[in-house]
Structure 1
Amino acid sequence: MTLLKKLRIKTQIMIAVGGMLVIMLIIIYSLYAQTSRIVIHNNNQYSEETIRKFQVSLSQKTDEIAQIMLNLGFDPFVQKFLVQHDPSLSYEMTKELDRKIISLKAGRKGIEDIVLIGASGTKYSLNGGISYVQRLEAGILGSKSSFVSGLEKFSYSSSLQNSMVFAQNIYAIDIGGVAGGSRIGYIAVIANVDAMFFDADKTNAEPGVGFFLIDRYGKVFPDTHSPDIARSIRAMSSDPDGERKRTDYVGGVKGAIQIQKLDPIQASVLSFVPEEALLAELSAVRTRSILIVVLALALMAIPFAVIINNILQPIQILVKFINGIKSGRIKDLKMTLQLEGNVEMEVVAEKLNGMLGEIDALTHKLVETTTHLLEAEIEKEKAASAYLRSQINPHFLYNTLESIKGVALEVEAPQIVDMTKALGKLFHYSIKGSGYVTLDQELNAVKSYVFLQLIRFEGRFDVRYDFTEEALRAPVMKMILQPLVENAIFHGLEPKTTKGLLTISGRVAGDRASTLVIRIEDDGIGVEADLLRDIQNRLREEPSSLSQGGHNLSRNDSIGLQNVNNRLRLTYGSGYGLTFESEAGSGTRITLKMPGDIRQPGGNGDVQRAASG
């Protein structure tokens, strides 16, 4: 049943129809087989009754023949005829014998001839059967009781008839010159087997019923004209252990057989009814039943096909529609499903269409909400980036102006002009062009800033630049390095009591394709372990709030450090940004990682156009 549930509905229905057809055919054949057994049983009963009647009739006929032979054998006139030696007297006596025998034969159908043969040589025959009987004389004389021959051909009225000879020896009674009890001859009755034993049964037999007489020598009557049939009948009649009732083949034809011994004539009778004849009408009924079933199925096929189509077609449309949605065809969600065929499928279509409408409405709301959220996030990121950049410029401007004021108070020299010029370049660089420049352009701005700081700190640190040509061509965001250099100078080198070294380097890393790596290193005072962990943890946080612009860092940390990290991660993703490494008393190293592509996602144009401006 589990396997059947997994099949298609159409396959299940076809299996059910096929099963019904098989069951109907089995029922038809079962009824046919049962009816066949009943018919064969009734036929056996009929054949048994017919054979019984045949035996009774045969006994009556043989008793009648025996009575004729007895009456003639003890008739004084017949005994005188048998012992008569005078031919002329014998001839005269035949006339009286004709009268007697004709009177005995009258009304007795099947008796063809009565023959008398005396021991003295006298002979008598009503119809010329003397030579026919004399061929059997040895058997007759050797018989101690009545003699019955096998089937013989006897010519009577110019035609050969299947006949049997019944004979009996005649013994003398007290007649002159012959001792009583002496054998004086014998009497023989020639009987037409067909007329005497089978005529009445032929008229009463049902069509198809066959009776065969088998004599003691195995001859079969009536003649079958087929050696195979004759052999089959002889074999069955001569089998002493054979069943009296059975089903067997005669000449290759199957039929119902019954065999009975006929002791009075030392023969057997066999009834054979072919099953084909017995079941002819049943076969016709079976054929008609099958045709009716087939015709009924054919007539039912059209409405059945319509019903199946009404069930399966809506289901197939529904499955196809669902598979379309499953495969990603979103446009199917906007379609209206039409299912025609039955009320149930129309209800399914109505409910599904309602559900699809709700899904479509929810999808629109979800798209609108997502769009608003994305727009808000973009605006938020833009605002965060602008805010971070705006934090850098005022802070830098304040520190620079403080430096210029200090120098101006102490020295009235050309250095002020150089510092002012460098400061002008920085202002000009920060407000002009796109948001992206080459690293070479960014580095020139950093050099102007470092120049100002070197004047302020009067040579307390040296600067070394180490950049590859490939790195200098790489695109970067504006003002991305200045806050980090400022952090290194003010928090690393300024507190140092000895002269320090600031190293700024850049290259395109080989471990990641087109990744620009910039390092800013100083040999300043470094950062304590606790503060280092706090800085590193905050640099790993997602830049999700504008309030985390660096205000929560320690006062010893630069405000621009987390701002630069946030700008990089907001623009390029979490895979890029800053790493901060430091050791108290040994120095600090800041590493920037960003893409090295010519065009930057979210930029305001390519770098070459920005540089040319």
Structure 2
Amino acid sequence: MKFYHRLSLSHQIHLLFAIAVVMTLGISVGFYYVTFESLRAREEQYMYDMMAQVAQKTEDFTASADYLAEAVADASSAVHLLRETNKTKKWRYRQSLNRLFSDIARSNSSVTNIVLLDTTGKVYGFNGLDYSLVNRLDSLYSLFSPDNCADGFMAPLYASDKDIPYYANIRTVYDTGTYENRKLGFCIIIGTCDPLYEACRNTSSMGSSLFMILNDKGEVIVRSQDADAAAERDIVHSLLSRGEALFSAEIDGKKYLLSQYAPLPSTDWLIASAVPYREFDSGLREFRNLALLSVLFLLGIYLLLGHMTVSSITVPLNRIIHFIKRGPDYTLRNHVEIEERNELGYLADQINLMLDQISELTDTALRNQTRMYAIELAHHQARLSALQSQINPHFLYNTLDAIQGLTYLGRIEDIRTAVSSLSAIMRYSIKGEAMVRVSSELLCIRKYLQIIDIRFVNRFTFHISIPDRVMDYEMPRFLLQPLVENAIFHGLEPKTGKGTLSLSSELRGNSVIHFRCADDGIGIAPEELERLRGRLLDAPESPDPSLAEKYDGIGLTNIHLRLRLLYGSPYGLSIESAPGQGTVICLDFPATVPEQV
């Protein structure tokens, strides 16, 4: 009870409603289960009774075939025919047997052929013999081989052009007129299994139920309907591997009720059936529909009562709670709407009044804060402009110095190319927005390297590796050129022999762009590197031209300050170097996509 009282009003009502629904469903399911099991037991007994009917019809069929076989095997004319060597007498006995067989065959319409076979393999046929059928069955099953003849039934036998199976009932013919009682030959009665098929088909009253007659080898003689070969094979295997008369088995994802009837007295045949459990369920459809309607009726009453309670209490209460949970960004600009004019409506009016007062106070605070932010933003923009203005004169000085060297050498064409590249770089650095695409910055770098390559012929090797996925991101204008300039003039130019500079980039975590500028120049002395790192770590808020470094100008500190002003302290510039092993400078700043105009 303590747990119940600790719940909110809404949860208490919903808990009571859930308990009532669960109890109703439990009672309905229990009643349905008991009734279902009772009806299923009756269906199982009904199915077993049908199995007994099939067994009885099959036993009548085999008994009739046995009677014919025994009548022929015991007929004196048959004994004389197989024992006699005189052709004339054989012909007389054969005619006598023709009349006898005609009379006997009338009692069993399934018989198609009656054949006598002596011990040497000679075949004697009689009136109505279907030579074509007999020859096909003999070629497939060697019926007329004395070595294969054994008393009993053979089935199923299939002709090559027919689907209906045949059976063969074999009886040994003995010489009963002598004391030797020697074997004279065999009587073979061949007949169609149509009566067995009709017995299975007429007994099957369910749409997907399968009744079968199997021989002692597990082969299907007849079945009530066609079935999937794999499923039928699994059904037969389950029946033969278990000796139970009635059991359940899951085959190919479906649950079946399997049953088998003991082998018939005159044969080793087995009566079997397989009925999907969904067939039993179909008989309960009306009961299931009635139970479902009852449950829906009770649930409807519960829903109506629950709706009346919830709509008057919990819905307004939940609306107030959800309104408050949406946070101040929403609540300060909106009012909670409650239609009920009870205690909850009064509570909603007081909340709206309180929110109006808070919103008025918040607006005043925001206006004051906005003015302060505008002043600070203008201050930062002025510092950023001052930093960028320091770059262009410094770069121009170094580039003009390189062009001056070309004039001493008299390389007029190279001067023209260098001046054209310098003009493009100056236009890029002065005109346009403060933020550019990486691809534009890379084009500026290539122009600059073109000037350097003219000035220092075959001195340096440049490697630029920028992934395509980075090209469309945004970065500050004229950010990379000072890195390249610093590497050439302070790292590679003082080096004896050729030097290599590589510029690469990667996108880390889809949120940070990382640039890496590495050279194999003279490197930086440890004490100088420590001093430079200290300058970057303790960089002043406002750049001072008097603090320019002796060996790298103002470029590196300038770049670091620009990144800090634009993106904050997590981003900026880092340096790794050692004397004689080159220098690596890395930049990190957020990956942003330019706004579409």
> Could you state the TM-score of these two structures normalised by the residue count of structure 2?
0.46
Report the TM-score, using the length of structure 1 for normalisation: 0.45
User: Based on CA coordinates, which of the two structures has the bigger radius of gyration?
Assistant: 1
